[in-house]
Each structure stands twice: as C-alpha cells, then as structure tokens.
Copies of this chain bind each other. A is one copy, B any other.
C-alpha cells in the first residue's frame, strides 16, 4: 500500500462519495493519485460485481470478498467496505477508503467488501470531458457521447471541478439498519475549484435493479475523459445460510431512488 499517497490525500480531505447513494451512476472522486504500473490485461473487459444492490439496501454489510481478492478482479472501481465503513475506491490498482469523516486512507488487503463493482481499466476511447454545471447535465452529455446503453461503461475523468458535492457514511454495527435509514445520517461536503480523478461506472439499462451509483453533484470546468466498454459482467453471489433468508427479489427501486436523491435538508423531521 502506498501510504504516502494516502496521507497526502488525507490532508486535502478530497475524495468522498459514499457507498450510500445509488442510481444509474457509480461516481467517485480521488485527487492527485499518481499513476501506477498497469495491471496485465485479461482481454475480456470484464466488470466484476460483488453481491447485488438489493442486498446492500437491506443491510447486508458484512464483507463478502477480501480487498486483496477484489484487486485481482480489477484495478479500477467503487464500492463500500465491511460494516458499510465509508466509500471504497480502486484506482490504478490501489484501494482507498473514504471514511465517514471525509478522511481518505489506504485499505488493508485483509479488509473486505459487501458490495463493489470493479474492472481492469483498459480504455476503448477518450475525448475532452464535457463542461457542465451539474451532474444531471453530465449524465445527459455522456449519454450522447457514449451510445453503448446495453453495456457497462467504466469512465475515468481527470478533471477540474468548479464545484463538487460529496458524501460518505460512518461505520455501522449490527444489527444493521437498511441503507435508506443509514443514508439519513450521511456526511456531506462541498468543494470549489478542485482537481481530481472522477471514477464512474455507468450501468446498462437492463441492470437497473442489480447495481446502482453514488450520487454527487458537480460542475466540470475542464478535463479529459477515458472510457472502457465492459462486455462481460461477473456477479459474485452471497451463498451463506443467513444470506438466503433475505428476500432479494423485493422491488426496492423506489428506496434506491429515495436514497439516491436524499439531501441533508430532506431529512425527515
């Protein structure tokens, strides 16, 4: 683990976006991470997903895969840690945790994830990042630029952000509450004019109920975007006795949307 990077990141308190918030996009931001040697390709552009979004929505926060094993599946991705302990970000083969207090620290290989989406990032193309004033506009502009609606896309933006709104959550202890409950006490930060790397996973339309995305708001003032089209989608399903008691077939799309759109000022009175 390159602890040097983490302390620098830590001081800047940049990079958040919690695992709490899910929609079509999984978005995360890390700032000033130096490039690491590229992981060898497996040539299949595979997206590997640990568990399914409904499991996380229902409070399955115990880790299912060690971070060390997750890094064998990809060098780029987002997720959360066991106990829903903040945001997990994989970038250039290193694993970062964005804690509930906004600090960014390295993640031990022995820790584990209950939910993550990762790939071995190998760009299929690139273009200048659209300059936008908010996340909705970024979604829309990228939909125009990237017509691969029925595949996962891994998107990496080295950009400058005029504004940025990020969130994370604090570590939870069992008995776990559903994610929609936990999200009500999330932490939110705002930044102005900062540079960083934004990671996004865009889900295909057929997978809306399987995975989701963190939500942050942002205005992009400049940057370069690279993307990878993922044709293979590997889902690692939980197979414990306890996991089988959970009704993952329930339609939680409304709760997912509610969590996604949750704002501090929308807390229930």
Chain A interfacial positions (CB closer than 8 Å to B): 52, 54-55, 147-152, 204-206, 208-210, 229-239, 241, 243-244, 246-250
Most chain B Cβ neighbours within 10 Å, of A151, A204, A230: A204
A206 to chain B: closest residue by CB: B248
A248 to chain B: closest residue by CB: B206
Residues of the B chain whose Cβ atoms lie less than 8 Å from the Cβ of A204: 237, 248-249
Q: Which of B231, B241, B249 contacts A208 (CB 8 A)?
A: B249
A254 CB → nearest B CB, Å: 14
A16 CB → nearest B CB, Å: 28
Q: Which of B150, B152, B210 contacts A206 (CB 8 A)?
A: B210
Residues of the B chain whose Cβ atoms lie less than 8 Å from the Cβ of A250: 205
Return the 4 tightest CB-CB contacts between A and B, nearest first: A205-B249, A206-B248, A233-B235, A234-B234
Contact B147 A244 (CB under 8 A): yes
Residues of the B chain whose Cβ atoms lie less than 8 Å from the Cβ of A236: 231-232
Residues of the B chain whose Cβ atoms lie less than 8 Å from the Cβ of A232: 234-237
Contact A150 B209 (CB under 8 A): no
Q: How far is the CA of A229 from the CA of B246 in the complex (A)?
A: 17
A58 CB → nearest B CB, Å: 11
A151-B235 in contact given A205-B247, A206-B249 (Cβ < 8 Å): no
22 pairs of residues in contact across A and B, judged by CB atoms under 8 Å: A52-B206, A54-B206, A147-B241, A149-B244, A150-B237, A150-B238, A150-B244, A151-B239, A204-B237, A205-B247, A205-B250, A206-B249, A208-B249, A210-B210, A232-B234, A232-B236, A232-B237, A233-B234, A233-B237, A234-B234, A234-B235, A235-B235
